[in-house]
Amino acid sequence: MNSRLEVWTSRLSDMLRLLEKDGPVTASDLPKVIQDALMNLASLEEIRDLQAHLIAALENAGVMLDGGEEPLDFDLDSQAFDWKAWKEGTEDLAKVSEEELWAHLGFGEKKQLPLFQEWYDPSGMIEPWSEEGVAWLENPQSGRARLQPKWHQLVGIFRMLQHLFEGRAVLLMDGVGLGKTLQSVGVLACLVYYREHYRQKNDYPGWFKGRRFQSHLSGMIPDLPSIIVCPPNLQAQWTREMHAFLRRRSFDILPLVGKHASRRNWDDAVFEKSKQAPTMKVVLTGTQVLADDGKMLFEAVEKRGEANPSVAFSRYRKGTAYGQDYLLLILDEAHAARKPNQLHVAVRGLRDRVSAMVAMTATPVTTKPE
């Protein structure tokens, strides 16, 4: 009897904690995935602690739609790219050492990516953002391992940042198991750190010193949220991996799920609930949600697949993936948008609203569009 009472008392405490965190929340009206995300929003105290870590670091530095959908009638130019000139994109960095790569990124002394965890659980059994997970990672006897990017991952992060600074989108095509997620999250963390570095010192660190971000007049990386788009079955995995890589609540991860009718109050109920700075907010949504939103808000232009906002755009964009502009778009399983389908149009519509884009795939298909 006492054990059952303890269980119910614990559950009631959890419910009260959810309802009382930073004010009343009608939790029963929200999907569980959003309730879980709201519980992981950083508090003002945690944000201040994170800012202190950033300042200290600065000081030390001195969807798939193939299943039955009719393809749209596009006329894409398959001759726009010279396939014979295809390269990996990092050949010129083959002889650059790991030490030099850390220096290029601006972290030559500490050799750690900003906002990243120092340790991780090799078994994957620990939730790093839970109280128990934090204690486990802080325990030297726990079996933890140091979270250290490999050479090829540092090369990828550095080369992607170079392209993004120049205003070019990136296609990351490393094979399965080579750490594409770590690299893309590393790029996001570096952009956030670089923005703060520029704000404090009017310049960027490492190789990027003296450069401007995409020729912006101010030179500064814009203070905007980022968005990750992946197949629905990978959304939980993305959350787990971001928790594994990033310091607890360094970013607020905000799921955008469900049909549009259920998301009309998403901006107020979820996005604005976060107290983080815009760059520390990450919207996580699925390819199907993006495709549905795109179908409602865009029209393909003259068979070229360009996304032209429809008359419904201004009226219905709130609560969709197009509700705000973004700093970085990370598109996982990007090959799903290679064909002339609604996801293709939706991604192009989103691309027009982001400053930088990283598309990821382990299976790049290079056949001409059909």
Percentage of residues in the chain having pLDDT higher than 70 = 77
pLDDT greater than 80 at residue 264:
yes
Going from N- to C-terminal start, the domains of the chain cover: 36-79+95-360
Structure confidence at residue 25 (pLDDT): 46
Whether pLDDT at 301 is above 70: no
pLDDT at 193: 98
325-361: burial string, b at 16+ Cβ within 10 Å, e else: ebbbbbbbbbbbbbbbbbbbbbbbbbeebbbbbbbbb
Between 59 and 150, the more confident residue is 150
pLDDT category at 129 given cuts 50, 70, 90 is very high
Question: Considering the domain 36-79+95-360 in this protein, what is its CATH number?
Answer: 3.40.50.300
Mean pLDDT for the stretch of residues 135-148: 97
- Indicate whether 2 pLDDT > 70: no
Top pLDDT among 328 and 337 is at 328
pLDDT, tens digit, for every residue of 207-218? 999 999 997 768
Q: Is the pLDDT of residue 233 over 70?
A: yes
**162: DSSP letter:** H
What span, in angstroms and rounded, lies between the C-alpha atoms of 178 and 64?
22
pLDDT one-digit tens code per residue, 81-117:
566 677 778 999 999 999 999 999 999 999 999 999 9
State residue 62's pLDDT score: 54
65 pLDDT higher than 50: no
Band (pLDDT 50/70/90 cuts) for residue 6 is low
pLDDT above 90: residue 19? no
- Sign of the Cα torsion 211, 216, 219, 220 reads negative
Tell me the CA distances in angstroms from 213 to 123, 188, 219, 278, 355, one per residue in order. 39, 14, 5, 18, 10
pLDDT band at residue 312 using 50, 70 and 90 as cut-offs: confident
**pLDDT at res. 43:** 73
Greatest mean pLDDT among 19-23, 81-85, 354-358: 354-358
Indicate the pLDDT class of residue 11, thresholds 50, 70 and 90: low
pLDDT of residue 28: 57
| pLDDT for 330 beyond 50 | yes
Please say if the pLDDT value at position 13 is more than 80: no
The single residue listed with the structure tokens 């002394």 is 109
What was the pLDDT predicted at 308? 80
CA atoms within 13 A on the CB side of 80: 8
Helix (H) or strand (E) holding 2: helix 2-20
Share of residues in the chain with pLDDT > 90 (%): 62
Average model confidence (pLDDT) for the chain? Answer: 85
